[in-house]
Amino acid sequence: MTKTAIDTSAPTFEEFRSAMLEKVDDLREQLRIPVEGGGEKYVERHHSRGKLTVRERIELLLDQDTPFLELCALAGWHSPDHTAGGSLVFGIGVVEGTEVLVIATDPTVKAGAMNPWSLKKSFRAAELGEWIGLPTVSLVESAGADLPNQKDLFVPGGRSFRDLTRSSAAKMPIISVVFGNATAGGAYMTAMTDYSIFVKGNAKVFLAGPPLVKMATGEVSDDETLGGAEMHARKSGLADFLAEDEVDAIRLARQCVRRLNWRKHGQGPRTPDFVEPLFDADELLGIIPNDIKIPFDPREVIKRIVDGSEFDEFKPLYGTSLVTGFAELHGYPIGILANAQGVLFSEEAQKAAQFIQLANQVDTPLLFLQNTTGFMVGAEYEQKGIIKHGAQMINAVANSSVPHLTINMAASYGAGAYAMSGRGYDPVFMFGWAGSRTAVMGSEQLAGVMDIVTREGAAKRGTEVNEEELQAIKDFAVAVAEEQGTAYFMSGMMYDDGVIDPRDTRTILAICLSVIENRPIEGTDRFGVFRM
């Protein structure tokens, strides 16, 4: 693997690179929306009140010069009432040398009110926290539920309380820092955390604010008496720490993390003094064709993300449309399955099932690099057993107990998306490269299938096909498929954890591999029945 077949001076390389750079530039523009929050007007108003923005708070919380892996930044991208990232920032960072989940409401977006996408995002955070066993720091300033969307919030929202208590019971502490309002459900969520920090003069935590209390009971009260920071610190005991201001609150949060006595349960990197790849990550931009129908060699991708570009390929001469093998990334051992020519045949499926068993036998996480159009179809392949062989691969993926990391490099279609550990198979982390696509099939195939089915149906009925009407239906279906298969749409639906620049792949995977080491990595030898 110390040589490359990529010619960076070739016209096709520059063509592919230019196309990918356009996609990366567009991704940067899409990500600017959640970064800017509610926009300049509301950010200025927030600052005028002496408050930090959500990202300023996170920056102060994290150790200096450490990365923050933001997740699900494009949540709700596709929705008509899209709010910036679901008005919630969620990701993984390092505080006092300890990896933590950070969940922070953005008060510049509808006062941080919870909407359906922020709720779904919080569920993903709780799910991830359970899988990888991290402590959580929650930065709170929220007006509560977005009432026009209460039908989508109230019933499922109760799960948030359950998740908090289960996290605490599993010894995954949660530290909440309350910068402003935390009403009703927000008050309960603060009470269910392990440590609570209230900002003096700003934090307001109550089941019902003064107007609702007056309506419900006739009592006249004020914010401080009902739920002010000092009241909770001195009388109710809900506040564990009373901070003088926001900076002091963040100092106290860091102090709490420092005293957690946190330790990882994995074995750590096998090679602490790892070697960087021999080839430049920037070359990844010129490897992926602009047309997803054009194949590319995933070994060239692997060479640019693994340590020393060293990859021990498994079964290289068998099932050549799927590349499998072992490598190290930032010193962490990893098994890799990467689609080569897109289509999965019986040989590839059987090879994958065996390789997944081997990785589980030696407790090694798996990385799936997707570029698949699905399993091969046709009479010859059906007779050879493509269904049962595909089922073997899916069985192995579904029952594998080592952590899975998945990246959609270009295309993820059909059952191949499942077999390559798509979202439905619970990879711990999943990302899509800018420009990648996910769908049941390509839009051209969809149009072709509709054409065939329509004509066959008309022939059976003895009727004529209305060519103009059929073309209109096909055009509409293709347009919908094109839109809903994009990386942005998929990420907006939270079917992955984010759309990324290919050049960031190695760094992101390194963070993920470090994070999953918070729990012991243990493979399984139980895979159910393989139909032979």
One DSSP character per residue, 15-33 reads HHHHHHHHHHHHHHHHHHH
Mean pLDDT of 462-482: 78
Distance CA 209, CA 223 (A): 7
Q: Are strands 174-183 and 195-199 parallel, antiparallel or unpaired?
A: parallel
Mean pLDDT of 381-406: 95
For 190-200, b where at least 16 C-beta lie within 10 A, e where not — what string?
bbbbbbbbbbb
CA distances from 380 to 172, 342, 346, 385 (A): 53, 19, 11, 9
Taking each helix axis from N to C end, the angle separating 159-169 and 116-132, rounded to the nearest 10 degrees, works out to 20
- Looking at every residue in the chain, the average pLDDT score rounds to 91
pLDDT band at residue 269 under the 50/70/90 scheme:
very high
Half-sphere exposure of 387 toward its Cβ, with a 13 Å CA cutoff? 5
Contact status, residue 5 vs residue 11, Cβ threshold 8 Å: no
Distance CA 267, CA 274 (A): 16
Mean pLDDT of 357-371: 97
User: Which bin fits 133, alpha (ψ -120 to 50), beta or left (φ > 0)?
Assistant: left
Distance CA 30, CA 24 (A): 10
Q: Which of 120, 128, 141, 20 is nearest to 74 (CA)?
A: 120
pLDDT band at residue 81 under the 50/70/90 scheme:
low
User: What 3-state DSSP class applies to 56?
Assistant: helix
Rounded CA Rg of the chain: 26
Distance CA 129, CA 319 (A): 37
The sign of the torsion formed by the CA atoms of 359, 365, 370, 373 equals positive
What pTM was estimated for this model as a whole? Answer: 0.93
The sign of the torsion formed by the CA atoms of 195, 199, 200, 203 equals negative
Query: Strand runs (DSSP E) across 57-207, as ranges?
Result: 69-70, 88-95, 98-105, 136-142, 174-183, 195-199, 204-206
pLDDT band at residue 484 under the 50/70/90 scheme:
confident
Mean pLDDT of 65-74: 96
Q: Phi first, then psi: give them for residue 449, nearest 5 degrees.
A: -65, -45
pLDDT at 167: 86
For 393-423, b where at least 16 C-beta lie within 10 A, e where not — what string?
bbbbbbebebbbbbbbbbbbbbbbbbbbbbb
Q: Which of 41, 183, 28, 60 is nearest to 108 (CA)?
A: 41
Q: Phi first, then psi: give them for residue 370, nearest 5 degrees.
A: -85, 135
pLDDT at 49: 92
The neighbouring-strand residues paired with 506 are none
Mean pLDDT of 51-68: 96
Q: Are strands 322-329 and 332-339 parallel, antiparallel or unpaired?
A: antiparallel
Contact status, residue 96 vs residue 82, Cβ threshold 8 Å: no
pLDDT at 1: 58
- Give the range among 242-251, 293-302, 425-434, 472-481 with minimum mean pLDDT: 472-481
- Give the range among 108-112, 178-182, 284-288, 510-514 with minimum mean pLDDT: 108-112
Q: Which of 184, 107, 168, 169 is nearest to 136 (CA)?
A: 168
CA distances from 279 to 6, 504, 508 (A): 10, 14, 17
CA distances from 205 to 69, 208, 251, 252, 480 (A): 30, 9, 21, 19, 45
The neighbouring-strand residues paired with 92 are 69, 101
- For residue 148, count CB atoms less than 10 angstroms from its CB and return exposed for 0-12, middle for 13-18, buried for 19 or more: exposed
User: What 3-state DSSP class applies to 518?
Assistant: coil
The sign of the torsion formed by the CA atoms of 163, 169, 175, 179 equals positive
Count of CB atoms situated within 10 Å of the CB of 270: 11
Taking each helix axis from N to C end, the angle separating 443-461 and 467-484, rounded to the nearest 10 degrees, works out to 150
Mean pLDDT of 164-193: 87
Distance CA 276, CA 283 (A): 15
Token duo for residue 59: 């920056």
pLDDT at 10 over 90: yes
User: What 3-state DSSP class applies to 51?
Assistant: coil
Contact status, residue 180 vs residue 143, Cβ threshold 8 Å: no
Token duo for residue 226: 């009902």
pLDDT at 493: 92
pLDDT band at residue 152 under the 50/70/90 scheme:
confident
pLDDT at 80: 67
The H-or-E segment that residue 509 falls in is helix 505-516
Mean pLDDT of 107-129: 88
Q: Which of 454, 326, 345 is nearest to 390 (CA)?
A: 345
DSSP letter (8 states) at residue 531? -
pLDDT at 215 over 90: no
